[in-house]
Amino acid sequence: MTIATHTPLQSATGPGGNAPQRLLAPHAWVEGRWQAEVLLEIAPDGSWGAVTPGVTAPPADAQRLPGPVLPGLVNAHSHAFQRAFAGLAERREGTHDDFWSWRDRMYGVALRITPDELQAVASTLYREMRAGGYTHVCEFHYLHHAPGGTPYPDRGAMARALARAAQQAGIGLTLLPVLYERAGFTQPQLRADQRRFATTVDEVIAMRDEIRSWHLPGVDAGVAIHSLRAAQGESIAELARRCADDPGPVHVHIAEQTGEVEDCLAATGQRPIEWLCANVRLDARWHLVHATHATPDEIEAVARTGAGVVVCPTTEANLGDGLFDLPRWLGAGVPLSIGSDSHVSRQWPRELQLLEYGQRLVHRRRNVAAAPESGEPSTAQRLFQAMLQGGAAAAGRRKVGLVPGAPADFLVMDTTVDALAGVPNENLLDALVFATDVPAFAQTWVAGVRCTP
């Protein structure tokens, strides 16, 4: 596998060379705030070798960047094949349309797509994500088998297609092979239109280990559980046990729909998050995707474990899921990350905007996510910093941001666009999230390499 569109600047020694590459940012987001004249040194392995603010006399070989620098964000939840379906389910022909009817139509796409088609779709999607400010993506991967439901001769064919697409697009990738066993709490078998998803605990572990054995730059793996309704309790416990000593992330869809909550209550006597916290030893490697319908007690229970939550505002709005309780989750100190999920949007500023606007509509006040009492008066800055930290954990990364040892993934903002022109530095993130209609990034760099469009 080769990187087709992800190439370094011609003038740079760059990763793989004998010396660090030096860049000078007029301003950069370092340690949770804007700092001026920041010298950025990229080590040969594509990580940050050094980050030094306040450099008034930079080295002669330092290349000055054309705008302020932000760390790239992790897109913590993606189903790449669903990009082929985005925009094709916005019509209602009958009396009712909801998540479940959308899901039935989405399965039609899942039953037809081939590995080559998946690679083409994902390559386009991942380039769109880069343009939207993401430099890494967590792929919640449950589309494993051939259309008839039998394994491909190469059991990793679909995962390989995603890895190839990520390398072609020049984006980091954490593949999360998914445990998927049944159609529902009272349906012990998969439906016919779910036949491509079938996996066991052994198969999920084997896929994770195989992906890691490829040793592809920028590609790593964890595991995922589709949902409580799609996996038996015994299997969830077994997967958790088998991953107890593994550092990789563990993701699970949970409490996205009220119907799921009701079914879980009927089958187990507990709500989904309540059941998970009571039956699995959660920790910081676990990431609960959506968690839309959570009680205050459940939020506190998650907070005690150190687990994180992945919120996907544009998809949750598109599917009519409900509204995430952002103030309570933030107040509990639960790590949060952002995901594009079904890809009706592929840019994180729009996700953060909708996340905040939903709260404003419900609470009928402004800047709900801001926290001036703790020195965070900027809504966008608080959300960005939270998603930066939470996204790194969701991808299984130990370091994040413009700090030595973290991947040299960053964005150069285009302050010549009308929405950002003349905006003071302390307001740049707010203007990017709340006043900019299109991505305003002049450059994107991943692992110390500048990406081409």
CATH number at residue 66: 2.30.40.10
pLDDT of residue 11: 30
Please give the residue range of the domain that contains residue 417. Answer: 21-70+403-450
What is the C-alpha separation between 115 and 325, in angstroms, rounded?
38
Q: Give the Cβ contact number of residue 342 at 10 Å.
A: 23
Structural domain contains residue 7:
no
pLDDT tens digits, the chain, 453 residues: what are they?
333 334 332 233 334 445 679 999 999 999 999 999 999 999 999 999 999 999 999 999 999 999 999 999 999 999 999 999 888 888 888 888 888 788 888 888 889 999 999 999 999 999 999 999 999 999 999 999 999 999 999 999 999 999 999 999 999 999 999 999 999 999 999 999 999 999 999 999 999 999 999 999 999 999 999 999 999 999 999 999 999 999 999 999 999 999 999 999 999 999 999 999 999 999 999 999 999 999 999 999 999 999 999 999 999 999 999 999 999 999 999 999 999 999 999 999 999 999 999 999 999 999 999 999 999 999 999 999 999 999 999 999 999 999 999 999 999 999 999 999 999 999 999 999 999 998 799 999 999 999 987
Structural domain contains residue 428:
yes
Contacting residues for 97 by C-beta, under 8 A, at least 6 apart: none
Structural domain contains residue 2:
no
Residues facing residue 47 across a β-bridge: 407
If asked whether residues 254 and 179 sit together in one domain, one would say yes
If asked whether residues 190 and 338 sit together in one domain, one would say yes
Predicted TM-score (pTM) above 0.75? yes
If asked whether residues 386 and 420 sit together in one domain, one would say no
What is the C-alpha separation between 172 and 281, in angstroms, rounded?
29
Q: List, in sequence order, every beta strand (DSSP E) within 79-217.
A: 134-141, 172-179
Number of domains in the chain: 2
If asked whether residues 47 and 191 sit together in one domain, one would say no
If asked whether residues 311 and 224 sit together in one domain, one would say yes
Catalytic positions are 290, 341
CATH number at residue 247: 3.20.20.140
What is the C-alpha separation between 179 and 311, in angstroms, rounded?
21
What is the C-alpha separation between 221 and 64, in angstroms, rounded?
35
- Say if CB 243 and CB 250 are below 8 A apart: yes
pLDDT of residue 8: 32
If asked whether residues 171 and 83 sit together in one domain, one would say yes
- The CB-side HSE value for 97 (13 A sphere, CA atoms) comes to 10
If asked whether residues 424 and 382 sit together in one domain, one would say no
User: Which one of 350, 368, 394 terminates a domain?
Assistant: 394
